[in-house]
């Protein structure tokens, strides 16, 4: 099959929605080794953000920071279970930092 024929075949095949793809592939299982790797990366991301916070020297706890911490906890569990992406976890960690540091004052009200 030529590349052109392959493209034409793909164009004629309806794309699967995410739900259909998940239904076909079934529940995702995470091996112990993969879980350990993902945990290590997640902790690395979190500790890097924590170190940035500590270097800044100022932290203001608020309902926003506590909500960000709860989101980090939820995403950590989801990431290690294979149900969320590490990128989403990293974004949540960054939001946590912004919610309690000088970056919050610099970006203005939410």
Spell out the domain ranges in the chain.
Answer: 30-107
User: Among all chains, which residue has been given the structure tokens 């997640």?
Assistant: 42
- The answer to whether residue 19 scores a pLDDT higher than 90 is no
User: What's the pLDDT at 90?
Assistant: 95
* Gap between the Cα atoms of 79 and 85, Å rounded: 6
pLDDT in tens, 65-105: 999 999 999 999 999 888 999 999 999 999 999 999 865 55
User: What's the pLDDT at 4?
Assistant: 52
User: What's the pLDDT at 97?
Assistant: 94
**14-28 mean pLDDT:** 43
Question: What angle (nearest 5°) sits at the alpha carbon of residue 28, between those of residues 27 and 32?
Answer: 135
Q: How many CB atoms lie within 10 A of CB 73?
A: 11
Which tops the pLDDT comparison, 21 or 29? 29
User: What's the pLDDT at 27?
Assistant: 43
Query: Of 82, 90, 96, which is closest to residue 38 (Cα–Cα)?
Result: 82
């Amino acid at each position: 099959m030529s590349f052109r024929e392959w493209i034409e075949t793909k164009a004629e095949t309806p794309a699967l929605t995410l739900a259909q793809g998940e239904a076909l592939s079934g529940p995702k299982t995470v091996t112990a080794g993969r879980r350990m790797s993902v945990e290590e990366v997640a902790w690395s991301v979190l500790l890097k953000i924590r170190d940035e916070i500590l270097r800044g020297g100022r932290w203001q706890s608020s309902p926003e920071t506590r909500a960000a911490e709860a989101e980090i906890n939820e995403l950590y569990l989801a990431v290690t279970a294979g149900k969320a992406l590490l990128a989403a976890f990293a974004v949540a960690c960054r939001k946590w930092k912004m919610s309690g540091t000088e970056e919050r004052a610099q970006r203005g009200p939410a």
